[in-house]
Structure 1
Amino acid sequence: MKKLLNTVYVTTEGAALHKDGETLVAEVDGAEKTRVPLHMLASVVAFGPVQVTPALIATCAERGVTLVLMARNGRFQARIEGPVSGNVLLRREQYRRADTPEEIVRSIALGKVSNQRAVIRRALRDYGDEMAPAACAALEAACDRMALILRRLQFSDSTVDEMRGSEGEAATLYFAVFDHLIRSPDAELRWSARSRRPPLDSMNALLSFLYTLLTHDCRSACEAVGLDPAVGFLHRDRPGRPSLALDLMEEFRAPLADRLALSLVNRRQLRAADFRKMDGGAVLLTDDARRTVLTAWQERKREERQHPFLQEKAPFGLVPYLQAQLLARHLRGDIDAYPPWFWS
C-alpha cells in the first residue's frame, strides 16, 4: 500500500516560506513556526499573501513537490510544478476514450448519485427520530427519486447528455433537502440554495472551500498515475479547467466534503461568527475557521474505509489515488470497466 502523501497548508497571511538545506521552513514576523523535511511533502498550499523564496520554488519543482497558491477565500490562483511526467500511451488512450465516454460517465454518475443518497439515508438513520415528520418525508421522497435515477443510469441505454441530465437532476434533489441535514441553532448557517463564485452564505462558503481542497487532491492523483487532469469524461473540456480531476471528485463530494461540512456545523465546531460577509456580498471563512477546517480535513483523510472494489482498508485521503489508478488500469484494458467508489 502506497503511503499517504502529505500536504502542508499555510493559512497565516504574511507568512514566509524558505528552504534550509533539505527542509521547508515557515516563518511569521521573522520567528520560525515550523519546519518540514522536503522528502515528506507532496504539495504545499498557501492561502492569501504568503512569501515564497525562489530557492524553495526551484527545489519543490525539482523534487516533484507542487506549490499551489490560493486566494484568501480558497479560490485557486496558480499551481507551480516541475516537468510533468506521464505515460504517453496512457494519455493517448485517455484522449481517444474522451470522444466516446459513455461507460466511464455512467460509472462516475452512479458513484456520485449513490453516495449523495447514502448521505441522506445516513442522516435519516442517525437523526430521523428527532426530525420533524415533514423533513423525514422530504428526505425519504428524495431517496426514492434518486433510486429511480440510479436504475435509469444503470439499465437504460442513455446518451452522455442524458446521463449528465440525470446527474444534474439528482444534484438538484440532493441540495433541495440539504437544509434538513443541518442541525445547527444558528440561523445564518441554514441552507437555501447552492451559490458559488462567490459563495453568498456561510454553508456555501464552507462547501466551496472544501471542494477546492478536494479538487487539489484529485488533480494530484490524476497526475500521479500519468493521466492528463485537463481531459475529462463527465465534465466537458474547457481551457484552464481540470475536467478529469472534477470527474474524479464527484464520487467524493458528498461523503467526504459535504459530510465533513455537516459535522463541523452540527457539532458546533463552526458557528455563525466564524464567517464574514464582504462588501460585494461574498461570504468567507475567518482565518481561525480556515484552520479549524484544515485540521478537520486532515483528520478525516486519515480515517480508514473498506474499498468496495479492492476489498482493502484505505484512508480517505488515499482513495482519490486508488480511483485514479483504477481508471488508468481500465484505460489500459487491465479491467473491463471503471469501478466507482461507493460509500456506505
Structure 2
Amino acid sequence: MSFLYVCEPDTRIRIEEGRIIAEKSGGLVVGIPMELLERVVLMGSAQMTASCSAELLKKGIPVTFLSKTGVFYGRLESTKHVNITRQREQFRAGEDEDFCVKFSAGIVAAKIHNQVVILRRYNRHIKKAAVDEHIYQMSLLENAVSEAKAIPQIMGYEGAASRHYFSALSMMVNKNFSFSGRNRMPPLDPFNSLLSLGYTLLLYETYTALVNKGLHPYAGLMHQDRQGHPALASDLMEEWRPVIVDSLVMSIVQGGSLVADDFNKDEETGAVLLKKNTLRKFVKYFEQKIRSEANYLNQVNYRMSYRRAIQYQAGVLANCIENRDITIYHPVRLR
C-alpha cells in the first residue's frame, strides 16, 4: 500500500481515471492508483479538489493536514470505523483508576527500558561514564514505576527519566548537532527539530491505527484530556518514541545523512526548521523506517513492519479495554 506525502508548496491534488494525481504548477505530476493508496498527508499550501475529497471519504482514506513545519492542522476522515459500543467501554475504562494506573505503569516502564537500550547501543563504543550513570538512574526509575500508585506519580518518574535520557543523548550526538536537552514549540536546534517532526508523524500513525480499530483517539487512559489533543494516540505512541523516532534521528545525525546547513533559523522566534529539501528527505527516511521489519512484539513470533506492529497494538489495546484485562496488553520492548 502507498502513503502519499505532499510537501511541495502550491501542489494540487485531484482524481483522474481512478488515480490520485499530485500536480505542481511547474509541471511536475505524480500519480498513484486509488486501490493502492492507504493515507494522504498534505503539508503547507497543498490543495485538494472537492471531488478528490469526496472520493477519499468514500474509500475511507484519511487525509492529514500539517503546516510546512509539521504542525498539525486537522484531518479529513470517514466515520465508517466509528464503533460506539467499543468507545463506551473505552470511556468506562478511562474512569477505572486501577486499570489506568496499571496501563500507564506498563507503558512508561517500557518507554524507559527502550530509552535505556538506545543509550547502551550508542555508548557501547563511546564508553562515557556519565552516560552509564544516567542509565543507572533511569533503571532505578523504571523499577520505581512498578510501585507507583497514581498516574501523576508515574508521569513524574517518566519526566525524570526523560531528563536523564536527553542529557545522556546530548553527550553522544554528533558535535555538529549538539543540543543541551529536549525543547519544542518551537524547537531551538536541528536535533530537536527532527525529533519534533518525527513525533508528529508518529502521533498520526497511532491516531489512524486507533481510529481504524473503532477507538476514540482523544479519550486517553494515561494522558489527561486536553482540548484538541489526541490523548489516547499519545498514550499508544509513548512506547514507540525511542524505538522509531529517536533511533531514526540518531541514525541520521550520527551517519551524516543531514548536516547543519539543512536547517534554517527564524531570527524572530529562534525556531530551527527543516529546509524544504530536508523535509522531503526526512519524510522519506521516516517512511523507510516505519516500513522496515522487526520482531519486538511478545505476542507474535514473526517479523512485521513497525506500521503493522502499531496497528496490531491498537487492536490488542481495543481487546484489553473491552475485556478490562490489563494483562492482555504487552508494550513493545527493545532487546
Using the TM superposition, give the Cα deviation of residue 6 of structure 1 relative to its aligned residue in structure 2, in angstroms.
3.4
Q: What residue number does 1:77 align with?
A: 73
Partner in structure 2 of residue 284 of structure 1: 273
Matched, 1:140 2:129: no
The answer (yes or no) to whether the contact 2:163–2:181 under 8 Å persists in 1 is no
Could you tell me which runs of 5 or more consecutive residues in structure 2 were left unpaired when the two chains were aligned.
none
CA contact (8 A) 1:221 1:324 kept: yes
Is the 1:142–1:174 Cα contact (8 Å) retained in structure 2?
Answer: yes
Shift in Å at residue 170 of structure 1?
0.8
1:311 — aligned with what?
301
- Aligned positions of 1:207-226 closer than 5 A: 207-226=195-214
Shift of 1:157: 4.5
| CA pair 6-235 structure 1, distance change in 2 beyond 3 A | farther
Residue 9 of structure 2 is aligned to residue 20 of structure 1? no
1:261 deviates by 0.7
CA–CA distance in 2 between the matches of 1:38 and 1:249? 28
Q: Deviations for 1:274-320, whole angstroms, at most 9, x for unmatched residues?
A: 00011321111011111111111111112211122322211112121
1:338 pairs with 2:329: yes
Deviations 1:55-101 (A, max 9, x none): 10111111111111111111111211122523222211111111221
Could you tell me whether the CA contact under 8 Å between 1:111 and 1:251 is conserved in 2? Answer: yes
Asked if 1:108 is matched to 2:117, the reply is: no
- The 5 Å alignment of 1:234-313 reads 234-279=222-267, 280-306=269-295, 307-313=297-303
Kindly report the root-mean-square deviation, in angstroms, between the aligned alpha carbons of the 2 structures.
Answer: 1.5
Q: Deviations over 1:208-232 (max 9, x none)?
A: 1111100110100110111100011
* Alpha carbons 2:203, 2:237 under 8 Å: kept: yes
Aligned length: 329
Match of 1:8, SS?
A: strand
The structure 1 segments of at least 4 consecutive aligned residues displaced by more than 6 Å after TM superposition are none
TM-score (norm 1): 0.92
Q: Is the 8 A contact 1:104 1:337 kept in 2?
A: no
The equivalent residue for 2:180 is 192
**Unaligned residue ranges in structure 1 (runs of 5+):** none
Aligned twin of 2:314 = 324
8 Å CA contact 2:93–2:324 kept in 1: the answer is no
Partner residue in 2 for 1:175: 166
Kept after mapping to 2: 8 A contact 1:68/1:79: yes
Alpha-carbon distance in structure 2 between the residues aligned to 1:257 and 1:175: 13
Equivalent-residue separation in structure 2 for 1:7 and 1:235 (angstroms): 28
Letter in 1 for 2:277: D
Match of 2:152 among 157, 161, 164: 161
Matched, 1:59 2:70: no
TM-score when normalising by structure 2:
0.94
1:149 aligned partner: 141
Q: 2:148 & 2:118 partners in 1: Cα distance?
A: 27
Among the aligned pairs, what percent are the same residue?
29
AA matched with 1:205: S
Counterpart-to-counterpart distance in 1, 2:34 and 2:171: 44
Cα contact 1:111–1:341 (8 A) shared by 2: yes
Residue 22 of structure 2: SS of its match in structure 1? strand
- 2:3 corresponding residue in structure 1: 7
Show CA shifts across 1:217-276 (max 9, x none): 010011011110001112100111000001111111112101111111111110000000
SS at 1:200 equivalent = coil
**Alignment check: 8 A CA contact 1:25 1:34 kept:** yes
In structure 2, what residue type is equivalent to 1:45?
V
Q: Measured at CA, do residues 341 and 204 of structure 1 come closer, stay the same or move farther in structure 2, by a change above 3 Å? A: same
Q: Check 1:185–1:196 CA distance in 2 against 1; reply closer, same or farther (3 A cut).
A: closer
Paired residues of 1:181 and 1:262 also in contact (CA < 8 A) = no
